[in-house]
Structure 1
């Protein structure tokens, strides 16, 4: 494995302040959060694949709006068909549902058809010139799979559930934001990922953010100056990566 399956840390963190500017609507038959670019152009689409908390999570929506503000038409679908993992797991019904049990209901056979269905909608309805993809934690697996031939560039943060076999299939440029403390994308697995990417001759970048944990780029504590900086720099990293590969 290049990264482990989602764990307890994937559903923990802090809720961020802000007012989302996009809207939830049905796109390509899937409920999705859509955040258009300021110009309304769909020439550059950013396909946003979320962590396990899903497209209704305000933190993800604010991130989507951030990408949109830089000229991307952002599409962020519900990968879980109305069944995201909640940060407050005690609010789930049934109350005894565990994260491993939840994950078993949202494996590749259930999730990838949604990812591909929305991708086809992006191509047919929006007709973009270029498509890039971002994946946070759970969503990273599907960005890696899309990099085999479907998108021009990809960015993932603290990835989970990625296999080395999937990584070996990428064709497009990949950037990875990693946390110093991460039981999912561990130091050992990060080094395995680096070795595989080097062996492949891939176009890649890996940035390691010290002093933060898994989930920092979505669910970090914005009251802590260092965590806030890391979250913002991880976002800037994605923007710079896409700008270089799309506009350079």
Structure 2
């Protein structure tokens, strides 16, 4: 979400393959009046939606034994190699170039980075002391992070959190809150949604009213953070 020399408040997808990010980006742009750009962090190599077939959608739901075995197999054969192909040494330069291009080519002066799941890590890096690519950030059910990422933040940061999240666990969220509470100069805020699991804000089920309510709450939260800090 951007403030600067923008032409019109609509989404500009940059090599984005999935429909979901475009739908969400259009909703954010319409609500905020800001331009929203979508990078392709994976060079067309996104994980297929079918990867998560059969996994729980609501808190407390358990996977069947068969689904657990199938998911473990897919992790070894699909997700693990994918994570290696898109390790930080590969992905961070893509992120760095994306933000710098927005400023140099499009004349953008203020940027809020919003990262979902895997992208949440790169939103945090974009708001870190080391990289400082963004002026405000929002992480939605962030993945692959540790306390160092929160200690290194130096821009206003907000988090959209699921009720149950195997990546951004209750313990990690509490640790992040504690770290940021010791940095009063950096505005921070956490939105904990009800009836949700990891991934809800990126791929909400339109037939589930509880998830759609949380999805809309997340979008409103992201927009409000941008309006406050851009």
Q: Secondary structure at the match of 1:219?
A: coil
- Structure 1: 5+ residue stretches without partners: 1-34
Residue 177 (1) aligns with residue 160 (2): yes
Q: How does 1:29-40 map to 2 (within 5 A)?
A: none
The residue matched to 2:99 in structure 1 has which SS?
Answer: helix
Aligned to 2:224: 240
Q: Deviations over 1:31-68 (max 9, x none)?
A: xxxx999xx9259999999xxxx931111111111222
Q: Contact 1:180–1:208 at 8 Å: present in 2 too?
A: yes
Unpaired runs of 5+ residues, structure 2, are 53-73
Is residue 29–residue 36 contact of structure 2 (8 Å, CA) maintained in 1?
yes
For 1:143 and 1:115, locate their aligned partners in 2 and report how far apart those are by CA, in whole Å. 9
CA distance in 2, matches of 1:60, 1:172: 24
Structure 1 or 2: larger strand share? 1
Give the aligned length: 202
- Ranges of 4+ aligned residues in structure 1 off by more than 4 Å: 42-49
Of 79, 97, 100, 1:117 maps to: 97
Matched residue SS, 1:176: strand
Instruction: Give the one of 69, 78, 83 matched to 1:98.
Output: 78
The question of 1:199 aligning with 2:161 is answered no
In the alignment, the residues of structure 1 paired with residue 212 and residue 155 of structure 2 have an alpha-carbon distance, to the nearest angstrom, of 29
Question: What is the match of residue 84 of structure 1?
Answer: 46
Q: Please give the TM-score of this superposition, normalised by the length of structure 2.
A: 0.79
Give the TM-score normalised by structure 1.
0.74
Among 2, 12, 29, which residue is 1:68 paired with?
29
Contact conserved, 2:157 with 2:189, CA < 8 A, in 1? Answer: yes
Could you list the per-position Cα deviations for residues 163-210 of structure 1 after superposition, in whole angstroms to 9, with x for gaps in the alignment?
221221111100101001111111111111111111233310001111
**Residue equivalent to 1:19:** none
The structure richer in helix per residue is 2
